[in-house]
A and B are shown apart, each in its own frame.
Chain A
Amino acid sequence: MLFAVVPLVASTARIYVTNRGGTTISVIDPATNKVVETITGVEGPEVVRFSPDGSRVYIVARSEDVLDVRDRKSGKTIKKVPISGWGNDAMVTPDGKLIVICIFNSTTGPDPIGALDIIDTKSLEKIKTIPTKGGLHDIAVTGDGKFAAAGSPVGRSITVFDLQKLEIAWEVQYDQGVVPLTIESGPDGAGRRIFAQLSKTNGFSVVDFATHKEVDRIIYPIDPKGYGNSCEGMSHGIGIAPDGKTLWANSRTVNSVFAYSLPDLKVLGRVPLPEVKVLGKEPRSGGPAWITFTPDSKTVYVSTCGARTVTAIDVNGLKEVARIPVGEVADRISTLVVP
């Protein structure tokens, strides 16, 4: 496997997007909005995350049930840590000590049984597997690193894990699948609310962290054009800007990303996303997938799986500033900050 690395200067940011239908991870320089590096030889990459000091990258891919731990500068694999099955999303705790990995299917059969795998980054060993009702899709961690929340499309639930006790803390049950989600944390890092997208809702659910209850369900403003579904689900990709002032959420049926103010959740605007041209027919939704931000919260990046692009959007102006071609099925997207 090749892993070309461009030397980074201090406080440099890079946007990484996994090309899940391909074998590469594209790395974008947010200063130029160009792909400056392509990590190759990773078949069906699901997600890439980083150690807090930027020295390691953690990769989960469909082709192998492992966490591939690599040295970022050399690109060499340090260790492949076996995981319990098909790994989907992963997150690193803010202190860098744990990696939590959503297992969508721990069996070899068609009926997914999920789990949360917890990897200790010092020993690079799996220290615990917590079985869950259904396969886990996406995960978010509170700012203080004490809890993680994961959504399950099949289990139709959010499971909140206590990362100190390494056990399930509480759950929220829905009547439809839970796809991407994010956590709003308070100034002390404690979880305040979960914003979770649901498979059959053109919007998202709001869960209060203190009461463990759904307290609101936000529906996106309707767009007169309307698009059919692209890839999976109506609503896919949600994130909070690092400054905590705005929430951004994708709609596939509107083919747009909506911006909301925090904490009041008022609509700030909508930015259309790339369409896909279709021979002899109306264009289709480009399939918004996931969201990330530059560390200064000035630019939001949205991957679009069907359009094979990443769209850079100016947060203040609510305008697209760049459309960056990447690989097949542009998927999970994350920001590396090198101190």
Chain B
Amino acid sequence: MVPMISKILPKIITAGIVVAAAISLYVFVPFARAQASQGADAQKPQLDYEFFKTRVEPIFLKRRSADHARCYVCHQIKIHTGGPLSLQTLLPGMTFWTEEQSRVNFETVSKLVVPGDPASSLLLRKPMSPEAGGLSDTHQGGWQFASDDDPDWKNIKAWVMGQKAAGSSAQ
């Protein structure tokens, strides 16, 4: 019996170590990754609602030049028909969105940017001239921004980079 035990016991111990190692890898590695991801997310700038409402959202309604239609003309939901940048329909007689509508617009527009990464943010690239590295030739609203010197483009970029509005509670 003893010789038999002596042969089996090391196998059980070895198997136990392997199982324990596997469990620890299964449990702890993803946990460690999640920790690292949370760390990266924590480093990403947060998109500020107040900055969006006061500095970005008005750009969609602004007549930026005689050569350009307002963003809203094509991006209102009935014309953009559920496309990625479908903005809420202004209520009759209103010249700006209600608070509730602005919140919806914030959620919609936030999906088109990568916080902290303007080069990967469609909202910034789509209306930018292809000569400046943008995609405006594929934008049905045309070449809205000739370069990154445009003050409206800079405002959107600042929002993407996490700039807060003065007095913002998120500041």
In the complex formed, the residue of B with least CB distance to A105 is B78
Interface size class of B (residues with CB under 8 A): 20 to 34
Q: How many A-B residue pairs have CB under 8 A?
A: 105
Cβ contact within 8 Å between A109 and B130: no
- Which residues of the partner chain A approach B130 to less than 8 Å between Cβ atoms? 276-279, 284
Cβ proximity bits A230-243 to B, threshold 8 Å, 1 near / 0 not: 11100000000000
Cβ contact within 8 Å between B131 and A287: no
Interface stretch, picked from B47-55, B62-70, B112-120, is B62-70
Tell me whether chain B's interface is mostly helix, strand or loop, or mixed: loop
Cβ contact within 8 Å between B81 and A328: no
Cβ proximity bits B75-92 to A, threshold 8 Å, 1 near / 0 not: 001111110001001000
- Which residues of the partner chain B approach A85 to less than 8 Å between Cβ atoms? 78
Cβ contact within 8 Å between B78 and A44: no
- Which residues of the partner chain A approach B79 to less than 8 Å between Cβ atoms? 62, 86, 104-105
Q: CB < 8 Å: which of B67, B132, B137 contacts A287?
A: B137
Q: State whether the Cβ of A300 lies closer than 8 Å to any Cβ in chain B.
A: no
Interface stretch, picked from A17-25, A27-35, A115-123, A179-187, is A17-25
Q: State whether the Cβ of B140 lies closer than 8 Å to any Cβ in chain A.
A: yes
- Chain A count of residues within 8 A CB distance of the other chain: 42
Report the minimum CB–CB distance from B44 to chain A (whole Å). Answer: 27
Q: State whether the Cβ of A108 lies closer than 8 Å to any Cβ in chain B.
A: yes
Cβ proximity bits A87-116 to B, threshold 8 Å, 1 near / 0 not: 000000000000000001101111110000
In the complex formed, the residue of A with least CB distance to B137 is A306
Tell me whether chain A's interface is mostly helix, strand or loop, or mixed: loop
- Which residues of the partner chain B approach A110 to less than 8 Å between Cβ atoms? 77-78, 80-82, 86
Q: State whether the Cβ of A74 lies closer than 8 Å to any Cβ in chain B.
A: no
Cβ proximity bits A292-322 to B, threshold 8 Å, 1 near / 0 not: 0000000000000111100000000000000
Cβ contact within 8 Å between B142 and A329: yes
Q: State whether the Cβ of A55 lies closer than 8 Å to any Cβ in chain B.
A: no
Kindly state the separation between the CA atoms of A263 and B127 in the bound complex, as whole angstroms: 42
Interface set of A (CB-CB < 8 Å, partner B):
19-24, 40, 43-44, 62-63, 85-86, 104-105, 107-112, 135, 154, 229-232, 276-280, 284, 286-287, 305-308, 327-329
Known A22-B142, A85-B78, A230-B138; 10 more pairs at CB < 8 Å? A21-B141, A21-B144, A23-B66, A62-B69, A62-B73, A63-B69, A86-B78, A110-B81, A154-B81, A276-B130
